[in-house]
Amino acid sequence: MVLKTELCRFSGAKIYPGKGIRFIRSDSQVFLFANSKCKRYFHNRLKPSKLTWTAMYRKQHKKDIAAETIRKRRRATKKPYSRSIVGATLEVIQKKRAEKPEVRDAAREAALREIKERIKKTKDEKKSQEG
């Protein structure tokens, strides 16, 4: 058996048949409240969005966990695609990646040494030209 539940116009709570307070305004608009607390706050013109226990407040401040899980979507994942970089083929890159750190360090030091020697040589040439 399925019960037809309605929602409170103030708090957003479920109201089961035979429960709640029905208020009909002079313009014949029907309001259904869960309890006298909701009715009292409505007549005092309090905003449900400012009361922490109402459904409207929970929705505005993203407190609802159930609604949040539905909203989450999976982004299209990019498949890993390996391609060569300009100036280096894929084989060269993979070979460098497979190198041991010691070999890499030695190559780096040798390159630095060569650069320093080249700089020193250019400085010496400039000194000999000036003097």
Could you report the per-residue pLDDT of 68-114, keeping only the tens digit for each?
Answer: 566 677 788 877 776 667 777 788 888 888 888 888 889 899 999 99
* Number of domains observed in the structure of the chain: 2
Does some domain include residue 80? no
Choice between 67 and 72, residue whose per-residue pLDDT is larger: 72
Q: What are the residues facing 24 on neighbouring strands?
A: 30
Return mean pLDDT, the chain.
88
23 and 38 in contact (C-beta within 8 Å)? no
Does some domain include residue 107? yes
Q: Tell me, what's the pLDDT at 79?
A: 77
CA 112 – CA 66 distance, rounded (Å): 60
Cβ atoms within 10 A of the Cβ of 50, count?
Answer: 10
Does some domain include residue 93? no
pTM, to two decimals:
0.49
Q: Tell me, what's the pLDDT at 39?
A: 98
Nearest to 13 by CA among 49, 55, 41, 47: 55
Sign of CA dihedral 35, 36, 37, 43: positive
The model's confidence at residue 16, banded by pLDDT at 50, 70 and 90, is very high
Which CATH number does the domain housing residue 12 bear?
Answer: 2.30.170.20
- Domain of residue 47: give its range: 6-65
Does some domain include residue 38? yes
Interval 5-22 mean pLDDT? 96
Nearest to 113 by CA among 101, 102, 125, 105: 105
The DSSP call for residue 54 is S
Q: Tell me, what's the pLDDT at 69?
A: 64
